[in-house]
Amino acid sequence: MRALHHYCRQILQVEPEYSDAWFLVSIAAAAAGQMHKAVQMVEHALEGHPNNAEYLTQKARYCAQLNLYPAAMQAAEAAIALTPQSALILDTLGVVYAKFDEHEKAIKPLRLATSKTPDNAQFQFNLASTEQFLGNVSSAREAYKKAIALQPHFARARWALSELGKNDEDVVSSEELKLQLQRPGLNTEDQLYLSHALARDYEREGDYTKAFECLDEAKRRHRKKIGYSFEQDAELFNTLKSAFRADSQGCATDLGEESLFIVGMPRSGTTLVERILASHSQAESLGELHEFPLAIKRHSKTASSRTLDPQVITEALKAAPEIIGQDYETHCRARGKHARYLIDKLPMNFLYLGFILRSLPKAKIVVLDRHPLDVCLSNYRQLFSFNFRYYHYHYSLEDTARYICAYRDLMDYWKTLFGDRIHTVNYEKLTENSQQEARDLVDYVGLPWEEGCLEFYRTDAVVSTASSVQVRQPIYRDAVQRWKKYERELTPAIEIFHEAGVI
């Protein structure tokens, strides 16, 4: 890429308006991780050829990488309007839309891409993911299977297929997965994908010991690779508690009147509560939005690569809270939704509750509470994105238990500071007495009750979380006390919880 950049610069010295050279420089900049520069370079290319679908598509991709929703959507829409025929362009546009949970817009270009180039495994995978999030399970299964047939070593596709359903027909055989796990030079990421798929098979057979052992081996290997220790997160939790005190000053404004945050540990029921509230006529979901963490990072003006660390916390507290609140609301409104309440369902926003209620004093906060052992097991059984260090704890059962203890301690602290500004929903109670718990939830938000709130599974709303399949059915209790199936394997977590007084 350095050579490409060098030769393009030489061309531009002779012919400064040569659009293809500017475009290729943008490609080189993006490959080097210089996304802001990549945007600037592709904009130079577009000055000469504003209707070039390839240029517009790459601009959309760069802006998506920078989480610039309006700019990414504008470029993508302009590219789509040119009716591009290239499968690569169509797939890229679909991925850009999917990045922002705009799966209704993503589905058409992704389907077109696979129809034009049906033998591309990655295109099939991208299509399958969006079909799944739209609730089209049969179509998703078919596309995942095509991806695997085209690329038998596509471990991520095998894992995704295993997550789709509970029936044996939904997954490849255990023997095939075992053979894949024996491949020489298997990286830790592919081992995790395959091990999670195999563990699901063992669970279906009722062999929970083998399922756990399968996960444990893969997770320990990846934990060693990334060099994680719980102390990294413990420092973050302690810094948050020290940074916010009872006398912390917020802003005396009406900011947050439209904001409804649903937070909690991942796999604690946040998606279920989101679907209940989003089924109300006066509420719309923005999905797992990263806008608030990014607003805090921007206003901290720190140079670190981490979105949240002790330095970010310290520096962000120096920013005017109303400026942070206004910044967040501006980015939310750019999503084009105008309901009475806009739901932000990023579970990890629990880390930001001090900042949220300081910057958005009128915001509603809903926190999920679930039995710690079920949360621990569900986090451990789930495979979260490798790209987010938020989830590094879940590669160890003990770290997961310690993280949950720290979470509960921090949540108790937030409740001490903010009292009834935070509404807690207990997952077990919600599944046992859904009518009353849902009514209490809607009442806290300040909306009139609507029966449709408990018929969320009848809607065709997009669900882009690990619970995308489960929430297509009525409320069920199958996941309550699932931990008892793994009671022996969970012994280290049980001991940690007992010592912390959590159970």
* Residue-wise pLDDT tens digits, 474-485: 666 677 788 999
Q: What is the pLDDT of residue 70?
A: 95
Residue ranges covered by each domain of the chain: 230-245+254-500
Task: Give SS3 for 473.
Answer: coil
* Low-confidence residues of the chain: pLDDT under 50: 166-169, 468, 472
Given the DSSP bridges, would you call strands 283-285 and 422-426 parallel, antiparallel or unpaired? Answer: unpaired
For residue 218, CA distances in Å to 67, 159, 181, 406 come to 32, 14, 10, 25
What pLDDT is attached to residue 248?
65
Q: How far apart are CA 470 and CA 397, in angstroms?
A: 24
pLDDT digits (tens, 9 = 90+) for 309-363: 999 999 999 999 999 999 999 999 999 999 999 999 999 999 999 999 999 999 9
Q: What is the pLDDT of residue 304?
A: 87
Beta-bridge partners for 369 = 426
Q: How many CA atoms lie less than 13 Å away from 415 in the CB half-sphere?
A: 12
pLDDT of residue 472: 45
- CATH number (3.40.50.300, 3.20.20.20, 3.10.640.10, 2.40.30.20) of 230-245+254-500 reads 3.40.50.300
Count CA atoms within 13 Å of residue 152 on its CB side: 7
Q: Which residue has the tokens 């408990």?
A: 454
SS3 365: strand
Q: Which amino acid is at 347?
A: P
